[in-house]
Amino acid sequence: MTDYPPAPWHTHGRAFIQPYLVRAADIELPAGFRPVAVAGRCVGILGLVEYLAPSPLTYSELLWMPCMVSAGGLRGYYVAKMYVDSPASLAAGRELWALPKQLARFEIGEREATVDTEDGAHLELSLRRRGPSVPLRAGAGTIQDGGADLVRFRGTGSARTGSGGITVRSVEGADGWTGFRGARRLPGLGAALASFAITMLPPLRQARR
């Protein structure tokens, strides 16, 4: 096992968040998971995150969440793909929060990023940050398939948030990203977190009903 600190993690960094409109019929989920949809459509999230000092681990992360789900009376986003460039973060994500982390190589600048993943995806991204940022409460919650259990991740804190987001200039090898093919980017609804301070809480496990 790769060493990693115990939860909670008090993390700091910056992020770019881009919502997508995703057809519920295009999303494959674990047994017992149901997409939260309106008129057959879900809101998915593509995110690029940099965890910076004094975070307990410093690394980059790309994640694709095709929809919010309901499972076992819980509700949260479902992480279908998550890539990091830290073996310690990969191990913690899988072992603590049942997150499907894989390794990738990142090149991140102020306005663009390139990501090459171990399962063969290549993405070229444009990053946008427009106008001022204001302090807001920030939080996230996911539900993952932990085998016999449902595993819930929760993060809470604050972020200086402004308008922005991600444009995928080109992508190869992402055919296995459930719901991504055919998803429609929602322009004007993205966000740029110029800085955040978010605590990743210990996982909550619930036996499947």
pLDDT in tens, 95-104: 999 999 999 9
Maximal C-alpha separation, the chain? 47
CB burial of 140-162 (b: ≥16 within 10 Å; e: otherwise) equals: bbbbbbbeebbbbbbbebebbbb
**pLDDT single digits (tens) 116-129:** 999 999 999 999 99
Distance of alpha carbon 30 from the chain centroid: 18
pLDDT at 114: 98
CA 47 from centroid of its chain's CA atoms: 5
Pick the CATH number of 9-202 from 3.30.1420, 2.40.128, 3.30.450, 2.40.400: 2.40.400
pTM: 0.96
Residue 208, pLDDT score: 85
